[in-house]
Amino acid sequence: MKAVVIHAPHDLRVEEIAEAAAPAEGEVRVAVARGGICGSDLHYYHDGGFGTVRIQQPMALGHEVSGVVTELGAGVSGLAVGDKVAINPSRPCGTCDYCKRDMRNECLDMRFNGSAMRMPHEQGLFRAEVTVPAELVVRVSPGTDLALAALCEPFSVCLHAVNQVGSLLGKRVLISGSGPIGCLCVAAARLAGAAEIIVTDIAAAPLKIAAAMGATRCIDLTEEAGALDVERAGKGQIDVVFECSGAAPALRAACEVVWPRGHIVTVGLGSEPVLPLSLVVTKEIKLSGSFRFDHEFEVAAELIDRGRVDLAPVLTGVFPMEDAIAAFDFASDKAQAMKVQLRFGES
């Protein structure tokens, strides 16, 4: 069968690999239908990895996928051949101290599809078929678009970020960075009851998608450098900030605009900025990190399946798996692309 495999920076191949194994007890085999290209996939494509994590052997990419069940292993219940499903790429060990404390996203022995952190690498899901534990697949309705189902993973990240804060009912929210996670955070914040959602970026194109996702106001900081000054008035006017860019100036601005005792949730990874500690201390700012997700995956699938959220605006391109290189190049052009997906088979 075919898979999208990274060998080295800019050495991405669509190649034949071994067929997916027959499902053992408690497993299912799934024909992959759609797969979203994530920022981490792009890091592997352009740089061979990020930080100390580097490609050391060929690895199938991808961790945002949906598909159709083709075979059930013994003992699997609640699923049937032909079911549409989203696949959770996160496999915590279940036995470490963090797993036992229901902090499975912090697992000490995490396996995450499409990651070179381990050796041998954890193969990704950009494969024609995959065999996975049945507990990792979430069934969606027959009428659900598999392109939307493949957004469960990134949307889970945003639901987890919102869960750091709790209810946003009636709150004024700022989201800095309007990439895929920033735009999906708009949907999560709306769902949590935010009264106003302001989104900032340094490019106009992604802000248009943030507006389509339901942002109240979108600010291009290259055109409106002083647009946030009004939010700095007094000691700050924003209740909650979701910092999705990973940029040092954005974190500084977040500390300036948030209310005293307001909440900043850092979602984006990037540079290692200097924290404006005097503002954090004197304004008693609550600062939380947000890493991956856990139980939110099932919630994301249900929200998408029931039509409670419309995530379609973030989808800006679909390419056949055979055109993976063109898809990755297009996904790298932030002036055109938001979330780009690969299409497997006839899906």
DSSP classification of residue 241: E
Specify whether the CB–CB gap between 236 and 261 falls below 8 A: no
Joined together, the tokens standing for residue 202 give 């340094």
pLDDT digits (tens, 9 = 90+) for 32-48: 999 999 999 999 999 99
Residue 166: per-residue pLDDT: 85
- Please determine whether the domains at 2-151+311-343 and 158-289 fall in the same fold group of CATH: no
Confidence of residue 347 (pLDDT cuts 50, 70, 90): low
Angle between helices 204-212 and 180-191 (to 10 degrees): 30
> Angle at Cα 293 formed by Cα 142 and Cα 145, nearest 5°?
20
Confidence of residue 212 (pLDDT cuts 50, 70, 90): very high
**Nearest alpha-carbon partner for 188 in 288, 35, 311, 102:** 311
Confidence of residue 272 (pLDDT cuts 50, 70, 90): confident
Q: Distance between CA 115 and CA 49 in Å, rounded? A: 9
DSSP classification of residue 122: B
pLDDT digits (tens, 9 = 90+) for 300-342: 999 999 999 999 999 999 999 999 999 999 999 988 999 999 9
Query: How distant is the alpha carbon of residue 40 from its chain centre?
Result: 10
Looking at the domain covering 158-289, what would its CATH class be?
Answer: alpha beta
Question: Is domain 2-151+311-343 annotated with CATH 3.10.450.30?
Answer: no
Question: What phi-psi label fits residue 328: left (phi over 0), alpha (psi between -120 and 50 degrees) or beta?
Answer: alpha
Beta bridge partners of 127: 3
| Radius of gyration in angstroms for the set of CA atoms belonging to the chain, rounded to a whole number | 20
Q: Which positions ≥6 away from 173 have C-beta within 8 Å?
A: 189, 194, 196, 197, 198, 238, 239, 240, 241, 242
Residue 51: per-residue pLDDT: 84
Q: Could you state, in order of their start, the residue ranges of all structural domains in the chain?
A: 2-151+311-343, 158-289
Residue 346: per-residue pLDDT: 65
Residue 270: per-residue pLDDT: 78
Q: What stretch of H or E contains 296?
A: helix 296-305
The mean pLDDT value for 26-33 works out to: 98
Confidence of residue 52 (pLDDT cuts 50, 70, 90): confident
The mean pLDDT value for 117-124 works out to: 95
pLDDT digits (tens, 9 = 90+) for 71-83: 999 999 999 999 9
The mean pLDDT value for 181-195 works out to: 98
Specify whether the CB–CB gap between 21 and 312 falls below 8 A: no
Q: Distance between CA 178 and CA 8 in Å, rounded? A: 29
> Which stretches does DSSP call E strand in 136-195?
137-140, 172-176
Q: What stretch of H or E contains 36?
A: strand 27-36
Joined together, the tokens standing for residue 91 give 């496999």
Average pLDDT for the chain? 96
